[in-house]
Amino acid sequence: MDHNSHGLVDVLNEQIRCAEAMLRTLGRENQALVSGDAEALTAAGADKAKLVETLEALESERRGLTEAIAASVLRASAHADVEAAPEWRQLLDLIAECKQQNQRNGALVKARSEQVRIALRTLRGSGPDLYSPSGRTPSTMEARPLGTA
């Protein structure tokens, strides 16, 4: 194994550690969403943004190393070596798991948003969002102010 190959394995291992941290952060984000903890949600969001930046930088480095390896040996065998590496498979599995957790969190955010929208509409005393004969939804200005009968 040459210097680039060792470097590639090191970058893959760092990507794995970063993806594992992302999975933990997504778990924290999920708990914050479930418990309604805005402070924890903000902290998880900030951590998630940093991890995305780190993963993007590592991916750029990995691609550069892969291209350097491919330039020094036959292109087909270089790609086969990288894709056959157990670290690569582990990374792909972790990234897929992160994607699934992020989608679950997104669905939870969407459900919470819908609950808030319904609650606000109820508090304002407005009915469901239906279209008028003119094709418009009723204006929220028509709703009664909070606290009126």
User: What are the tens digits of pLDDT across the range 112-144?
Assistant: 888 888 888 888 876 555 666 676 665 544 555
The pLDDT confidence band at residue 14, using thresholds 50, 70 and 90, is very high
The Cα–Cα gap between 25 and 48 comes to 6
Half-sphere exposure of 31 (CA within 13 A, CB side): 10
What are the residue boundaries of the structural domains of the chain, listed by start? 3-126
Quick check: 40 pLDDT over 50? yes
Distances (CA, A) of 54 to 22, 74, 110: 10, 30, 27
CATH of 3-126, one of 1.20.58.300, 1.10.510.10, 3.30.460.10, 3.30.70.920: 1.20.58.300
Residues 6+ apart with CB under 8 A from 138: 126, 127, 129, 130, 132
User: What are the tens digits of pLDDT across the range 69-100?
Assistant: 877 765 445 455 555 678 889 999 999 999 99
